[in-house]
């Protein structure tokens, strides 16, 4: 900040008012209407809540799929000595773990979206940090056999 600007601020404070202006935001947002401050971007609690409900609605469907998957395993018995039964159990365990993780991820994402809806003024950086945390917590594993190169 230039010295002259600092002197102006101090002089204004002595008179009982201090003018403050953020970059690209009018000092009096009332003069340009709401779009003068937001650049036309609008957000609403309802939109965030609807998104949260949509993500949360996936969880019961995943629960139903897990129940059907589990019911399909009845009667398999011991996998000792039967390679196909052992392979079947490995696939089942893998998909069960994956579906449970997807359900947990949906619940966590629903929580973040609900929170953003409640606190509409949450900063973009705060929302991005929560999304990055979710991506790190629920990172997908590499595909079996590695990643395709150049395809």
pLDDT recorded at residue 10: 67
Residues 54 and 13 reside in one and the same domain: no
| Residue-range definition of the domain harbouring residue 26 | 3-38
Residue 150 lies in a domain: no
Mind giving me the DSSP string for 90-118? HHHHHHHHHHHHHHHHHHHHHHHHHHHHH
The total number of structural domains in the chain stands at: 2
Phi, psi of 106 (to 5 degrees): -60, -45
- Can you list the residues of the chain whose pLDDT is less than 50? none
pLDDT for res 57:
93
In a domain, 142, yes or no: no
Residue 109 is assigned to a structural domain of this protein:
yes
Which alpha helices (DSSP H) does 1-151 contain, by range? 3-14, 34-38, 45-56, 58-71, 83-118, 124-137
pTM above 0.85, yes or no: no
Answer yes or no: do 85 and 16 share one domain: no
Give yes or no: residues 22 and 86 share one domain.
no
Is 144 domain-assigned?
A: no
Same domain, 59 and 121: yes
On whether both 70 and 10 belong to a single domain, the answer is: no
* Contact (Cβ atoms closer than 8 angstroms) between residue 98 and residue 62: no
Same domain, 102 and 83: yes
**Residues 106, 57: one domain?**
yes
Question: What does the block give as tokens for 15?
Answer: 């008179």
Confirm whether 129 is domain-assigned.
yes
The answer to whether residue 147 is domain-embedded is no
Residues 98 and 54 in one domain: yes
Residues 119 and 117: their CA atoms lie apart, in Å, by 6
């Amino acid at each position: 900040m230039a010295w002259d600007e600092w002197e102006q601020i101090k002089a204004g404070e002595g008179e009982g008012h201090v003018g403050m202006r953020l970059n690209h935001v009018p000092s009096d947002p009332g003069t340009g209407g709401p779009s003068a401050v937001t650049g036309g971007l609008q957000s609403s609690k309802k939109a965030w809540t609807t998104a949260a409900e949509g993500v949360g609605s996936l969880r019961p469907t995943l629960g139903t799929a897990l129940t059907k998957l589990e019911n399909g395993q009845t009667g398999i018995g011991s996998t000792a000595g039967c390679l196909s039964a052992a392979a079947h159990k490995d696939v089942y365990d893998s998909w069960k773990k994956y579906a449970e993780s997807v359900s947990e991820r949906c619940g966590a994402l629903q929580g973040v979206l609900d929170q953003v809806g409640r606190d509409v003024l949450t900063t973009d950086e705060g929302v991005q940090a929560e999304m990055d945390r979710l991506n790190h917590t629920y990172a997908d594993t590499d595909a079996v056999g590695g990643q395709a190169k150049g395809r």
